[in-house]
Homo-oligomer: A and B are copies of this chain.
Amino acid sequence: MRNNFSLALKKLNLKITPKRLAILEILMKESVFLGPEEIWKKLRTRFKKIGLPTVYRNLEELAEGNIISKINHPNRQLYYYLCPNQSPHHHFICLSCHKVEDINFCILKELEEEVINNIRGKVLSHILQINGLCKECFKERKNGL
């Protein structure tokens, strides 16, 4: 996987730096979305010198290059997620525990058809995200915990 990352970074003309790889490794281990500050804290256990702006910058570049995906959180802060699933799909995020799960369909085709036929414009990007409570968090809330 480290090799895949290196390859992906090469393709984007991003240098393969230890910190960049560490950010990807941290994200890869997680099934929840993480914010820049959380990632920074984890990085600081491995690097004695690492600035928060470096984390912000790298996350932005990686998202720009579609290696990681940005989460649309209601609190409007930045969160990122590295999805192992390569096929086009969308995400369910748990607002309680931050777990990300795949929604196994992508509506891009239908959307583009609609936009071409009715709006006669061009699609540049689309957001589809479901916010809710995962199985475990929903159960807990039902039980009043």
Measuring CB to CB, which residues of chain A are less than 8 angstroms from any residue of chain B?
72, 74, 76, 92, 94-95, 101, 103-105, 107, 110-111, 114-115, 118-135, 137-138
Contacts and interface: CB of A to CB of B under 8 A. Distances in A.
10 contacts: A92-B121, A101-B118, A105-B110, A105-B114, A111-B130, A115-B130, A119-B134, A120-B135, A122-B138, A124-B131
A16 to B, nearest CB: 28
A104 B114 CA distance: 8
Given A111-B103, A114-B104, A133 B127 contact: no
Contacts of A127: 72, 127-129, 131
Q: How many copies does the complex hold?
A: 2
Contacts of A111: 103, 130
Contact of A101 (B105, B119, B133): B119
